[in-house]
Amino acid sequence: MELKQAIESRRSIRVYKKEPLPLSDLKEMVRLGRLAPSVANSQPWKFVIVTNKKLLDDMARKVAMQLEDIPASKSRAAQNVKSQVEWFATFFQDAPALIALAMEDYESVLEKGVNMDHDDINRLRNYPDIQSAGACIQNMLLAAVDMDYGACWLSAPMMAKEPLREMLGLEEKYKLIAFVAVGKPEKIPAKKTARDIDEMIKVIE
Ligand SMILES: Cc1cc2nc3c(=O)[nH]c(=O)nc-3n(C[C@H](O)[C@H](O)[C@H](O)COP(=O)(O)O)c2cc1C
């Protein structure tokens, strides 16, 4: 598939056929994800591929419990928002596969020469670790399209990132960044309307 076609046809897929995915395809998505640029070429990635339904259910339950603990008014509107967010944060439990992306801290070149700690430098540089993760995730989403799968990027479950990290058996040095749920699409939603591109571009000649 042409890259442009993959970019244009990609959309977030959240409902999947029950078919399991070959591990080799999931590993290929990860292989293409890890080719993304990363700050200082740190390649700080750790990927956990989960197809175990019980673990996915347990993880989704943990996310729902975490959401439950977030204070909200008892109004019907607030409760509706919560249940909508709950679905967007937990639908991964019905995905045939989930790829969790975690990463360890990179060592900035600056760190070696200035008296500033890693977190301050990272903030100063506009979180290049998270920017790198975004590139990696987008590569995986486009790889999924190329392989005729549908995928969705999820950050909402990260409200339970600490317990999820433990459930995934990741050491503390890894920060859990996001999930990518993937499977054969059950239904493909219409393309979202895009904002007018001229409103987004400023040209300085
Ligand atoms: C950083 C990021 C986090 C996202 N987190 C979630 C999420 O937690 N749950 C979800 O259902 N979709 C999530 N999405 C998907 C967006 O809702 C989706 O990309 C957006 O609505 C545009 O739709 P499209 O991907 O079909 O073009 C996330 C997307 C991004 C880029």
Candidate CATH numbers 2.60.40.650, 3.20.10.10, 3.40.109.10, 1.10.3720.10; the one for domain 3-200: 3.40.109.10
Judge contact between 159 and 66, C-beta under 8 A. Answer: yes
- Write down the pLDDT at residue 62: 98
- Write down the pLDDT at residue 65: 95
In eight-state DSSP terms, residue 157 is G
Q: How far is the CA of 154 from the centre of ligand 1 (A)?
A: 6
- Strand order, beta sheet including 175-183: 45-50, 97-103, 175-183, 150-154
Cβ neighbour number for residue 110 with a 10 Å cutoff = 15
Render pLDDT for 74-104 as a digit per residue (tens, 0 to 9): 888 888 888 899 999 999 999 999 999 999 9
99: three-class secondary structure by DSSP: strand
Q: How far is the CA of 123 from the centre of ligand 1 (A)?
A: 24
- Write down the pLDDT at residue 76: 87
- Write down the pLDDT at residue 112: 81
- Write down the pLDDT at residue 71: 86
Rounded to whole angstroms, the Cα distance separating 125 from 15 reads 37
Query: Residue 21: which of 140, 108, 124, 137 has the closest Cα?
Result: 140
- Copy the structure tokens of residue 51: 């197809």
Judge contact between 104 and 165, C-beta under 8 A. Answer: no
CB-ligand 1 contact for 165 (6 Å cutoff): no
- Write down the pLDDT at residue 164: 98
- Write down the pLDDT at residue 179: 98
CB-ligand 1 contact for 9 (6 Å cutoff): no
Ligand 1 atom closest to Cα of 11?
26
CB-ligand 1 contact for 155 (6 Å cutoff): yes
Give nearest CA residue, ligand 1 atom 11.
88
Give nearest CA residue, ligand 1 atom 31.
153
CB-ligand 1 contact for 195 (6 Å cutoff): no
- Which of 154, 177, 182 gets mutated to test ligand 1 (max ligand atoms within 8 A of its CB)? 154
Q: How far is the CA of 179 from the centre of ligand 1 (A)?
A: 11
- Which of 11, 12, 137 gets mutated to test ligand 1 (max ligand atoms within 8 A of its CB)? 12
Render pLDDT for 181-196 as a digit per residue (tens, 0 to 9): 999 999 888 888 889 9
**Cα Dmax for the chain:** 57
Q: What is the pLDDT along the chain (205 residues), one digit of tens a residue?
A: 799 999 999 999 999 999 999 999 999 999 999 999 999 999 999 999 999 999 999 999 999 999 999 888 888 888 888 889 999 999 999 999 999 999 999 888 888 888 888 999 999 999 999 999 999 999 999 999 999 999 999 999 999 999 999 999 999 999 999 999 999 999 888 888 889 999 999 999 9
